[in-house]
A and B are shown apart, each in its own frame.
Chain A
Amino acid sequence: QKEVEQDPGPLSVPEGAIVSLNCTYSNSAFQYFMWYRQYSRKGPELLMYTYSSGNKEDGRFTAQVDKSSKYISLFIRDSQPSDSATYLCARNGIFGTGTRLKVLA
């Protein structure tokens, strides 16, 4: 089992939809969690990070960590075509494969 697992997608949604992106992880050592956005042929851009269980909100983005079920989620409200990118989750610097998101205008 990989340390961090993500559904690679692609995930296509209409503009304005709420997007839910998910990751699972397998190790329970000290941990911090991050979500990155990566546009094609660019470096990853940090969106959010958290060290604890629960929700963290930043504008249209909400990161959720459930340590009991080892589940990490990123919610995007009012999705825009400019949100079309690959979203990478990471735990302690270990990355998932990324989920490709396409928001249709």
Chain B
Amino acid sequence: DAGVTQSPTHLIKTRGQHVTLRCSPISGHKSVSWYQQVLGQGPQFIFQYYEKEERGRGNFPDRFSARQFPNYSSELNVNALLLGDSALYLCASSSDLRSTQYFGPGTRLTVL
């Protein structure tokens, strides 16, 4: 069985641009969460979606938004990129809101 997949693997953007990151959960999983991991830190929670509805939001500005599609895949959008947005963006899927989360390989975003 395929695990959580994310695309793209790497991305380089400049300040002020917009970025869209994509995630496909494990088959049968209905919840997707997004995390930001800055080098040397643990993952920081951004959003959790379950059954296409936002069920949790971390302490991130409104420049960050996400959505979940009917097939349970998800997109994370970041507008007006800042240098500080450079990080590894991780997607995790779980069968429901409180079940074990399984992470994808991440998308490494570099903002120049």
A positions within 8 Å CB-CB of B: 4, 6, 8, 32, 34, 36, 41-46, 49, 88, 90, 93-98
User: How many B residues touch the partner, as a band?
Assistant: 20 to 34
- The interface centre, meaning the residue of B43, B100, B104, B106 with most chain A CB atoms within 10 A of its CB, is B43
Contact call B42/A42, Cβ cutoff below 8 A: no
Contact call B108/A41, Cβ cutoff below 8 A: yes
When distances are taken between beta carbons in the complex, the residues of chain A under 8 Å from B90 are 43-44
When distances are taken between beta carbons in the complex, the residues of chain B under 8 Å from A94 are 45
Given A42-B105, A42-B106, residue A93 in contact with residue B40 (CB < 8 A): no
Contact call B40/A45, Cβ cutoff below 8 A: no
Contact call B42/A45, Cβ cutoff below 8 A: no
When distances are taken between beta carbons in the complex, the residues of chain A under 8 Å from B42 are 4, 6, 88, 90, 95-98
Q: B92 to chain A: closest CB distance in Å?
A: 8
CA of A46 to CA of B40 in the docked complex: distance in angstroms? 19
